[in-house]
Structure 1
Amino acid sequence: MVNLSSFSSIHFLFYSLVISLSSTVICGGIETDHEALLKIKSLITRDPYGALTSWNDSLHLCDWSHVYCGKRHRRVTYINLSSQGLEGSLYPHVGNLSFLRTLSLGNNSFQGAIPQEVGGLYSAIGAMLPNLFWLQLWGNQLSGPLPASISNCTSSKLLELNKNKFSGHLTVDFSKLTKMEIINIEDNLFGSKEADEMKFNDSLKNCRRLKSLAFGNCGFQGVLPRSIGNLSNQLYELTFYGNQLHGNLPSSIGNLVGLNKLSLGGNQFTGNIPSTIGKLQNLQDLYLYENQLSGQIPDSIGNLSSLLKLSLSSNMLEGVIPSSLGNCHHILSLFLNDNKLNGKIPVQLLQLSSLSITLDLSQNNLFGSLPTEIGNLNMLTTLNLFDNNFSGNIPSSLGGCSSLLRLSLKGNLFQGMIPLSLNSLKGLVELDISHNNFSGHIPRFFEKFKLEYLNLSYNNFEGEVPMLGVFANESTFSVLGNRRLCGGIIELGLSKCKETSKFTKKLHLYLIVTLIASALFTATCLAYAWCKKKRKSHLSPSSTSERHLKVSYSQLLKATNGFSESNLIGTGGYSSVYKGILFEDNDTFVAIKVLHLHTRGAQRSFMREFEAWRNLRHRNLLKIITSCSSIDFQGNPFKALVYEFMPNGSLHDWLHSSGNTSRLNLLQMIKILMDVANALDYIHNHCLPTIIHGDLNPSNILLDNDMVAHVGDFGLARFLGTSYQNNSTGIRGTMGDIAPGIIGFHIYLHY
């Protein structure tokens, strides 16, 4: 233990003092212990929990609370008063407790000096150091140089002196501490500015049992020596963060193959990251942030297959992001921000579904469009891409990042409208897309988000500023620099939005319906002629049926997070439809239609729809991936159909949902009608047997990423010329298919 008499003039809050002894000499008797404990109590000025209430003459001292005696000699061996909220000073003659082995007074508010008499705890403090098993003095205000006599603690396994104010040159000779396992001297004021200040590292090579070495935030200067690679192969933690170390990182660091954590951030290291770092395959946390490292990120970093957290931020790294990072399949957080990286984001990086905390690529020179694979990061909570040179439209797949809480795209070259798919990012609390070239109207669905901060400033947005949700408080959002905006709350000072006259609206409607009717007639004729011409070349779908992936009830349960309500996207009389991720099929987004088998007619609907999909294949029909006929965990029958997920919802959503502020333009409406016409022509004229849909309406017309229409829900279908045709009694819905022209009129009525 530290020579306590050398600290007799040091005043401190006594947060943690543990003194452990392993040799004894009998001096005095039980009366001496009794007197010493009562005098200790007399100097306690505050005892909020009554820890010392039982310390009186009515009980034998061995029965007092927090006091422990030896069974044979009935002398005090252990006092534990930690975390009792005690205030006061330490009784000088605590050293009279000659049988005391452990005194624990941590996490209290003792003040004053460490009494010199503590040295009276048997033959003087220095004499007992060789037998000291562990020493904890962390969390106090101890100062001055660390005594070299600690080198005599040859039996010690643990040395914790962190969170004090020790200073000066570290003179401890660690070569004698061969049994040491944990050394923690973080958060002190060492640093002598001598050239050989880090020489103490050389003496650590004899500590072959060393598991944790924590020297962070100590003020050390100098170069990290090559001898660092000679440390114990059992070492799992090495921290030198927050010092003033400089020079290159030694390649010998690759010898420490047992490391789980390497923290060297907040120093002044220069040069390249050594490729030997790829040998540390047990490494889980790697922190090299806030240095002056340069060159490229080595490809060998992809060998760190156990990596959970990687921070290389605030350096001078350049070149492209290595695609080998895609091999780090367990990584949770990745910080590459504030460097000089360029090129595009590697697709392999965006396929790391493990990324669930932070991906920060901000403040670099990255360019190109944002890959559609960004939607794979469906567990990510923070995505920072600000201050780069990204361009193009935001991909609709970004809506797949449904766990995002914070998203920053500011300071790039993005353009176009905000995609409707971002409506799925309902958990966002911070969104910053300022200083880009976004245009169009501000989406109304932002009103329903629980945003705490929204920055849309310095773009090209136009039209009315919403007034609900985050838009109701001027301090929580910004729309500065968008010159064509109007309306909003009065504090914005924007001009009032102009209203379109009734005559202009009627004229627009008249022109629109005329154009729709003309274009629809022409398109239908052309489509029919083309389909007629190609009819003979079509193969019967039943002759080329695909093998479908087999899934179980448990797999679908997992895909939908237990058929949770948050994944529910629709409910009908016979079924409920859930959004899910099919992990067995490369994490594919799917729509899972679960039949309500307790409802009369549901079984027949399932068989009818399954039979329909077994005979269908067309680009404008909803694609089935597989089906499931099984039992649930309670033994009840379970049936479901798994379809391709349509991220843009149904035509009904676009026509009726209040959350959709964007309207279908003329070309989109014509395209949707043509897609529906193609689908109906196919099932009427090119299928064997001919199929009548039976319930065609906007809810059953689904739209994919590119706004291509797909007809779905064949639960009420009729099969002409088969037994299914004659077994349609009681079927509800349309007896024949609705013509595309009627769908077009439906679009017109809601335009």
Structure 2
Amino acid sequence: MCSKILFFLAVFTLIAAAEKCHPNDLKGLINFKTGIFSDTSGRLDTWIGHNCCEWDGITCDNGTGRVTQINLPGFYTSSDDTPLQTSMIGNISPSITLLASLEAIDLSGLVGLTGEIPPSIGFRLPNLKKLSLWGNRIEGTLPESICELSKLEDLYLYENRFFGSLPGNLGKLKSLKMLDLHSNRFSGFLPETITNLTNLERFCIQNNFLTGEIPGNIGDFQGLKELDLSNNSLTGKIPASINKLKAVSTIYLNNNQLIGKIPFFNQMSTLGFLRLNDNKLTGKIPNSFGYLISLQRVSLAYNKLTGPIPSSLGNLRSLTEMYLNGNKLSGQLPRSIGRLSNLLMLRVSNNMIEGPLPRDMALLENLQTLDLSFNRINLSSVPDWLLKLPSLSRIFLAGCKIQGEIPGNLVSTSSSLQELDLSDNNLTGQIPGWIGRLTELYSLNLSANFLVGEIPNPITNLARLGILDLHSNKLEGGLPPSLANVSSLERLKLQKNHFTGKIPNVFLNFKNLQELDLSDNFLEGKIPFGKPLIDFPKGSYSGNKGLCGLPLEPCRP
């Protein structure tokens, strides 16, 4: 008899638990709702009565009836599979820590959510496995107690307003797999204990104000797949132990103040994306790069690297993008570069690379962007085989000492060419009329050459042209009114030529124009009054003794 009574009491307790919220859970949720002034999703409108387990975004344990999850993300899918973006305006109530059985909190992407992480969170929510508050306006420092969340696996706090140093005991979060704190205002050093997080798979803390050095034992992150420390103020050398990250697929250390040589890479066979650009790295590109067989994108740009480009880079058959620009690299491009059959983008500008170009580059059938500008390459003329690359759409050959007229073989690229930069060369003659056949062209830069004659009328056929830069030539004649037909123009630079006559009134039709420079010519008359012409600074028109009217001095009667 007693056993039956106990059984019915247990069943009654479970039913009661299912129908009524635990007092602490109810108080914590009601206080949270009270702190929210606006909820565009309407989910908080369902928070009525005492059965909180039926409220939108709330999950409870079937046995205890305690709340285990709060899932109210700004991005979610409605019951009819419609994707929704919502927001909440208000503060996170500290009473949320009353929900002692919580395992997951997802209040991400709510935009207007403010407040701080409750200081006692680590002591009050011992079962928490996921804390996702990204994409809000939460501020303050990370409380030290957060290091007591021994079961925490996912911590997403990125794109908020957190500041201050990271807790020194962050390494106590031994269960942590995902740590993403990017785009906040964190400062100070990376805690020495950080490498104790041996289960970490993702560590992203880019776009902050961190200083100091990368921990020397960074290689202890044996399971790490993604490491992003970019856009901080980190100093010192890249630790040699980084080579021990055998599972890593992404390493971004760009935009810091790192010095020294690039460490030896030969074990990271899974590395697909590497950014070391915009640092102060010196020395040669290691031959060991050839071991990175999974590498798809690599950027070493804007460092102080010297020596030749190693031929071992030709082993990177998966490579699609390579940025080596802005260094002090010398020697010739290696012939092995022709083996990079998947290469889409090659930028080696602003180095000391010499010619001739290897004929093997003709094998780069997928190459879309080629930037060889400002090296010691003396092309004299642009090779036919180069312009016959079937996918080439962006060509940057500035400062390559190209002589003679604009290469007629450019017509072979007419169906694909989107950007062309032949500036700072020794081009002579006129701008050919066939340039109007490059109908996909968005940017044309022929500045700083010795071109003569007028702007050819067929250039107005370039309906997609956004940038036209012809400055510092010897072009003459009037500004063609038909140029206004290129309504897509965003930037027009014609300064330091010999243009004469008036600025055509139809130039007022340049509604998309953001930059204009007609200075240092022989233009005269009144500047047409109206936007956008009157919005440009005086410098856009200076050096034309005959021009007057806004933004210059008024015209004399």
Fold shared per TM-score above 0.5:
yes
Query: Quick one: which amino acid aligns to residue 151 of structure 1?
Result: C
Query: Quick one: which amino acid aligns to residue 360 of structure 1?
Result: R
Query: Quick one: which amino acid aligns to residue 246 of structure 1?
Result: T
CA–CA distance in 2 between the matches of 1:227 and 1:37?
Answer: 43
Q: CA deviation at 1:482?
A: 4.3
Query: In percent, how many aligned pairs have the same letter?
Result: 34
1:599 aligned partner = none
1:515 aligned partner = none
1:639 aligned partner = none
Correspondence 1:349-364 to 2 at 5 A: 349-356=337-344, 358-364=345-351
Query: Quick one: which amino acid aligns to residue 250 of structure 2?
Result: K
Q: CA deviation at 1:361?
A: 0.7
> Which SS does the other structure have where 2:218 is aligned?
helix
Query: Quick one: which amino acid aligns to residue 210 of structure 1?
Result: L
> Which SS does the other structure have where 1:233 is aligned?
coil
Distance 1:156 1:299, change over 3 A: same
2:166 aligned partner = 170
CA–CA distance in 2 between the matches of 1:279 and 1:72?
Answer: 49
Q: CA deviation at 1:247?
A: 2.5
Correspondence 1:640-679 to 2 at 5 A: none
Report Cα offsets for 1:144-203 as digits up to 9, x if no partner: 4433323322222223333334444433324433322222233333334xxxx44x33x3
Distance 1:432 1:181, change over 3 A: same
Pick from 258, 280, 287: which aligns with 1:299? Answer: 287
Report Cα offsets for 1:370-427 as digits up to 9, x if no partner: 4444433332232222222221210011222333332221122112444443223222
Distance 1:191 1:109, change over 3 A: closer
Distance 1:115 1:255, change over 3 A: closer
Query: Quick one: which amino acid aligns to residue 332 of structure 1?
Result: T
Cα contact 1:353–1:377 (8 A) shared by 2: yes
Query: Quick one: which amino acid aligns to residue 179 of structure 1?
Result: S
Query: Quick one: which amino acid aligns to residue 108 of structure 2?
Result: G
CA–CA distance in 1 between the matches of 2:66 and 2:241?
Answer: 53
Query: Quick one: which amino acid aligns to residue 367 of structure 1?
Result: E
Unmatched 5+ stretches in structure 2: 1-16, 75-85, 484-493, 502-557
2:366 aligned partner = 379
1:235 aligned partner = 224
2:135 aligned partner = 139
> Which SS does the other structure have where 2:217 is aligned?
helix
Distance 1:170 1:56, change over 3 A: closer
Query: Quick one: which amino acid aligns to residue 210 of structure 2?
Result: F
Cα contact 2:445–2:470 (8 A) shared by 1: yes
Q: CA deviation at 1:109?
A: 4.9
Correspondence 1:398-413 to 2 at 5 A: 398-413=386-401
1:160 aligned partner = 156
2:110 aligned partner = 108
Cα contact 1:147–1:172 (8 A) shared by 2: no
Larger CA Rg, structure 1 vs 2: 1
Cα contact 2:266–2:292 (8 A) shared by 1: yes
1:226 aligned partner = 216
Query: Quick one: which amino acid aligns to residue 184 of structure 1?
Result: D
Distance 1:102 1:132, change over 3 A: closer
Report Cα offsets for 1:186-232 as digits up to 9, x if no partner: 3333334xxxx44x33x344433222222333322223343223x13
CA–CA distance in 2 between the matches of 1:447 and 1:97?
Answer: 69
CA–CA distance in 1 between the matches of 2:381 and 2:164?
Answer: 58
Q: Does 1:191 align with 2:183?
A: no
2:270 aligned partner = 282
Report Cα offsets for 1:329-355 as digits up to 9, x if no partner: 111111111111122222221441211
Report Cα offsets for 1:628-651 as digits up to 9, x if no partner: xxxxxxxxxxxxxxxxxxxxxxxx
Distance 1:79 1:141, change over 3 A: closer
1:445 aligned partner = 434
> Which SS does the other structure have where 1:106 is aligned?
coil
Q: Does 1:393 align with 2:389?
A: no
Cα contact 1:369–1:393 (8 A) shared by 2: no
Cα contact 1:88–1:109 (8 A) shared by 2: no
Cα contact 2:444–2:467 (8 A) shared by 1: yes
2:449 aligned partner = 459
Aligned pairs, number: 456
Report Cα offsets for 1:28-71 as digits up to 9, x if no partner: 944957788677666654444443555557x9765554444554
CA–CA distance in 2 between the matches of 1:254 and 1:273?
Answer: 11
Q: CA RMSD in A?
A: 3.8
Q: Does 1:262 align with 2:251?
A: yes
> Which SS does the other structure have where 2:282 is aligned?
strand
CA–CA distance in 1 between the matches of 2:112 and 2:499?
Answer: 62
1:343 aligned partner = 331
Distance 1:49 1:273, change over 3 A: closer
1:51 aligned partner = 43
Report Cα offsets for 1:279-329 as digits up to 9, x if no partner: 322211111111111122122212211111111111111111112111111
CA–CA distance in 1 between the matches of 2:434 and 2:181?
Answer: 53
Query: Quick one: which amino acid aligns to residue 51 of structure 1?
Result: R
Cα contact 1:286–1:311 (8 A) shared by 2: yes
CA–CA distance in 1 between the matches of 2:288 and 2:308?
Answer: 14
> Which SS does the other structure have where 2:43 is aligned?
coil
CA–CA distance in 2 between the matches of 1:182 and 1:35?
Answer: 30
1:431 aligned partner = 420
Structure-1-length-normalised TM-score:
0.54
Q: CA deviation at 1:95?
A: 6.4
Cα contact 2:254–2:278 (8 A) shared by 1: yes
2:71 aligned partner = 80
> Which SS does the other structure have where 2:398 is aligned?
coil
Cα contact 1:452–1:470 (8 A) shared by 2: no
Report Cα offsets for 1:552-574 as digits up to 9, x if no partner: xxxxxxxxxxxxxxxxxxxxxxx
Query: Quick one: which amino acid aligns to residue 172 of structure 2?
Result: K
CA–CA distance in 1 between the matches of 2:279 and 2:93?
Answer: 48
Cα contact 2:455–2:475 (8 A) shared by 1: no
2:178 aligned partner = 182
CA–CA distance in 2 between the matches of 1:266 and 1:76?
Answer: 43
CA–CA distance in 2 between the matches of 1:384 and 1:139?
Answer: 37
1:538 aligned partner = none
Unmatched 5+ stretches in structure 1: 1-25, 497-751
Distance 1:62 1:269, change over 3 A: closer
2:553 aligned partner = none
Cα contact 2:101–2:127 (8 A) shared by 1: no
Cα contact 1:470–1:477 (8 A) shared by 2: no
Q: Does 1:421 align with 2:409?
A: yes
- Say which is worse superposed, 468-477 or 415-424, in terms of deviation: 468-477
Q: Does 1:215 align with 2:205?
A: yes
Q: Does 1:367 align with 2:354?
A: yes
Cα contact 1:157–1:179 (8 A) shared by 2: yes
Query: Quick one: which amino acid aligns to residue 342 of structure 1?
Result: S
CA–CA distance in 1 between the matches of 2:243 and 2:204?
Answer: 18
Report Cα offsets for 1:594-642 as digits up to 9, x if no partner: xxxxxxxxxxxxxxxxxxxxxxxxxxxxxxxxxxxxxxxxxxxxxxxxx
Which is richer in helix? Answer: 1
> Which SS does the other structure have where 2:183 is aligned?
coil
Q: CA deviation at 1:102?
A: 4.6
Q: CA deviation at 1:460?
A: 4.0
CA–CA distance in 2 between the matches of 1:95 and 1:127?
Answer: 9
> Which SS does the other structure have where 2:386 is aligned?
helix
Distance 1:440 1:346, change over 3 A: farther
Distance 1:155 1:471, change over 3 A: same
Correspondence 1:571-720 to 2 at 5 A: none
Cα contact 1:249–1:273 (8 A) shared by 2: yes
